[in-house]
């Protein structure tokens, strides 16, 4: 099993285990989202939907690499821009 496949399995087991052990204490992951939405209704929903959209499109390979905020190419391009516009110590 590849390390990435193992990690997906670990994430699944971790979430299921967490949820099963917090059935009655108000600490399910969705209940945490409920609290965020109660406190910051618009911002919370926006973040939840945006993250869900970004992850889904990333995993389904629907986002062009240069716009995929979870993808490797996006971060490489961002890093190159950061360096280009003075993001490193020029005295080195």
- The three state secondary structure string of the chain is CCHHHHHHHHHHHHHHHHHHHCCCCCCCHHHHHHHHHHHCHHHHHHHHHHHHHHHHHHHCCCCCHHHCCCCHHHHHHHHHHHHHCCCCCCCC
Whole-number percent of the chain with pLDDT over 70 = 95
Q: How many residues does the chain have?
A: 92
pLDDT tens-digit profile of 76-85?
888 888 888 8
Q: pLDDT tens digits for 20-69?
A: 999 999 999 999 999 999 999 999 999 999 999 999 999 999 999 888 88
70: pLDDT strictly greater than 70: yes
pLDDT value at 87 more than 80: no
Structure tokens at 55: 């992850």
Please report the pLDDT score of residue 67 as a whole number: 85
If one counts every other C-beta atom within 10 angstroms of the C-beta of residue 52, the result is 10
Tens digits of residue pLDDT in 28-38:
999 999 999 99
| Whole-angstrom distance, CA of residue 67 vs CA of residue 62 | 10
Do residues 45 and 51 lie in contact, with contact meaning Cβ atoms separated by under 8 Å?
Answer: no
């Amino acid at each position: 099993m590849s390390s990435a496949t193992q990690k997906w399995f670990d994430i699944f087991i971790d979430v299921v285990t967490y949820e099963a052990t917090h059935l009655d204490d108000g600490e399910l992951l969705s209940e945490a989202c409920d609290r965020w939405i109660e406190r910051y209704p618009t911002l919370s929903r926006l973040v939840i939907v945006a993250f869900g959209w970004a992850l889904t499109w990333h995993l389904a390979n629907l986002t062009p690499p240069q716009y995929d905020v979870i993808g490797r190419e996006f971060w490489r391009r961002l890093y190159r821009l950061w360096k280009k516009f003075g993001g490193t110590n020029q005295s080195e």
